[in-house]
Amino acid sequence: MKKLSALVVLIGLMGGVCEALAGPLPAYEGRRLFVSYCQLCHGVAGKGDGALAKRMHIHPADLTTTLRSRSDTILKKIITGEGRQTITGRDRHNLLSEAMPEWNNVFNDAQVEALIAYLRFLSTSRHQLMGDPEIGGDLYQKYCAVCHGEFGEGDGVMTKLVNIIPADHSNANEMNPISNDQLIDIIQAGKGQYMPAWKDILDQGEIEALVSYIRLLSN
């Protein structure tokens, strides 16, 4: 018990260091762009039912279905409006909807790639985002990164000090079979000898935000 208590204290002390080191991940940054620029038309879940679309009487693409057959190269051209189809010559950005804006003067290449990463999450993930992943990201860097690593790869600094192998939150094959409810239970109650229970430190909303951030780590 003393060993576990000392571990939790060390996690708190080192969390600030990891928070300073961490940078935005593709799907995480892509969600921020989606919320700011795309959600009004495409809707929170990307189904094409956004508030602005209804008001303008337009029909944006349902991104949860139409993206599955599109390559990243095509999606980039759809988003930016740059490049034409080699067969029909039709503008790429109009491939999904006539009302689709061209974002080539708004997003740089890295932002387009991040947005595509988040769109892939919307179209393929079996798990919904329960809370705000931006809040979850801050909590993750403060409490989790010291063991699970800056990018969730299970390579945090504590693994070099203590013989532990934390879960790799960036591995979709490992994370997808675990439901949101199971993740909540693990975070609340702890698991094994070294995974602490956070139920007395994080409230339900914070844990749900943390789960949402973890989902984006593996996408």
Tell me the torsion sign for CA atoms 154, 156, 160, 166.
negative
What pLDDT shows up at residue 24? 56
- Is the pLDDT higher at 112 or at 11? 112
Tell me the torsion sign for CA atoms 12, 13, 15, 20.
positive
| One domain for residues 174 and 143 | yes
Share of residues in the chain with pLDDT > 70 (%): 81
| One domain for residues 120 and 97 | yes
| One domain for residues 114 and 162 | no
| One domain for residues 42 and 110 | yes
- Cα 211–Cα 212–Cα 214 angle in degrees, nearest 5: 65
List Cβ neighbours of 181 (8 Å cut-off, separation of 6 or more): none
- Is the pLDDT higher at 6 or at 207? 207
| One domain for residues 56 and 141 | no
pTM to 2 decimal places: 0.76
| Beta-carbon count within 10 A of 44 CB | 14
Does residue 16 surpass a pLDDT of 70? no
**Tokens at 25, concatenated:** 């991940």
| One domain for residues 161 and 145 | yes
| One domain for residues 16 and 105 | no
Question: Which residue, 45, 176, 52, 68, is CA-closest to 120?
Answer: 68
| One domain for residues 50 and 12 | no
Tell me, what DSSP letter sits at residue 69? G
CATH number for the domain harbouring residue 209: 1.10.760.10
DSSP code per residue over 83-108: SB-TTT--BGGGSS-TTPPP-TTT--
What pLDDT shows up at residue 97? 56
| One domain for residues 115 and 138 | no
Query: pLDDT tens digit string along 18-42?
Result: 333 345 578 999 999 999 999 999 9
Range of the domain at 185: 2-24+130-217
Question: Which residue, 101, 79, 81, 100, is CA-closest to 90?
Answer: 81
